[in-house]
Amino acid sequence: MPLLLTILLLLSFSFAKEEYAFGSLDTSPERMGAGSRELAKGNAAVADTGTFIATYWNPGMLAFKRNLSVAAHLDKRSLGRTGGAFGIDAGVGNRMGIGAAFLFRTNEDIIFTDEESNVLGTASPFLMIGYAGLGYRLNKTDALGVSLSMIYDRMNFSKDFGLVEEYQSPLSFDLGWFRFWNEKWQSGLQIRNLGFNSKLSAAWQRNPSRDNSLQSANALRPKTFEAGVTHRNLLFGKPASVSLSLLSYQEADTLFVFDPDLHVFRGRFGFEWRGVTNGDLRLGVDGKNPSVGWGYAFNIGGKTLFVDYALIYEWEADLLNPLSLALRMKF
């Protein structure tokens, strides 16, 4: 496992050179993630059982959830971008876990212009994805999971352009695997955005105009392959963890393609250290975007309330995003 960790670390920073930002709002959950704790750790959450909203990050981890937990997250970014998430995870019996999650993203006042750069109006697109997940533990160390998801988005045009305002995607699904190797090592694998068709592609057609005067457009949620590991140990006598993961976004409407030009690669790194009692310090890198944050746990009548904060710097856009807050409650 130490050799695997070293290889993943090297690949993370080499693949990060191939990463670029998607422009489509449909892919923003993969770019922004869900949860301030996870954002502070560079979104390296696919193999970390401390992750809340496991339904999104890796449904296989749901099988190891024993308590009911609820999480709410708000992420306010520059250029009028806002995101957030709400999720519930719960254990069922000795081998199963279930969960549900809702992620939303919105942009404010995107300007539309004609060919001569005359302003025609604005739009404030809103996107929401709903998830429902199930995890099943095969034995003491391994679990599999599946989650179903559906997208709803609305353009919110400033005036009537004769265009369709609302869209809804077909149902798609994610598959996850999780394994405890020992008390220090754990790993995870997830494939997101799979469709119920021969290509397993989450693809569909959109008709942009109400009177069918415009040609329909193809919409695609890119297949996302993510594999990661987490190592737990002590640093200066305090609990610490390091998480690494690699992602590949496939930009082709096919079962799988080996052409690297049709994949976008991304590396993620996260570090967490419980430097004080009930308090965590975090840092991470998601692609080229560094992040830092903290979290604190309050014990309230047998329940635990976690407060998390993250600060994210988008390197290529030179944008500092200082407002990402989350509340998590474990019952």
Three-state DSSP string of 172-184: EEEEEEEEECCCC
Task: Enumerate the domain spans of the chain.
Answer: 2-330
Flag whether pLDDT at 212 surpasses 50: yes
Distance, CA of 132 to CA of 272 (rounded, Å): 28
Q: What is the pLDDT of residue 114?
A: 66
pLDDT at 278 over 70: yes
Q: Residue 22: pLDDT band by 50, 70, 90 thresholds?
A: very low
Q: Which of 30, 6, 11 is nearest to 250 (CA)?
A: 30
Please determine, for residue 58, whether its predicted confidence score (pLDDT) is greater than 80. yes
CA angle 192, 195, 199 (to 5 degrees): 105
pLDDT of residue 116: 76
Give the mean model confidence (pLDDT) for residues 244-265.
Answer: 89
pLDDT single digits (tens) 214-229: 777 778 888 999 999 9
Rounded distance between C-alpha atoms, residue 305 and residue 52, angstroms? 12
- State yes or no: pLDDT of 270 exceeds 50: yes
Residue closest to 137 by CA, chosen among 86, 190, 108, 98: 98
What is the separation, in whole angstroms, between the first and last Cα of the chain?
34
What pLDDT does residue 31 have?
65
137-150 average pLDDT score: 96
Average pLDDT over all residues of the chain:
87
Integer Cα distance of 152 and 130 in angstroms: 8
Query: Phi/psi of residue 117, each to 5°?
Result: 65, 20
**CA-CA distance, 41 to 141, in Å (whole number)?**
24
Residue 28 bridge partners (DSSP): none
Please give the CATH architecture assigned to the domain spanning 2-330: Beta Barrel (2.40)
Residue 275 has pLDDT above 90, yes or no: yes
Within the chain, strands assigned E span 69-77, 81-92, 96-107, 110-113, 119-123, 126-137, 142-154, 166-168, 172-180, 185-195, 202-206, 217-221, 223-235, 238-250, 263-276, 279-286, 289-300, 303-314, 319-330
pTM: 0.86
pLDDT above 90 coverage of the chain, percent: 57
Q: Which residue has the higher pLDDT, 310 or 167?
A: 310
Mean pLDDT, residues 160-189: 91
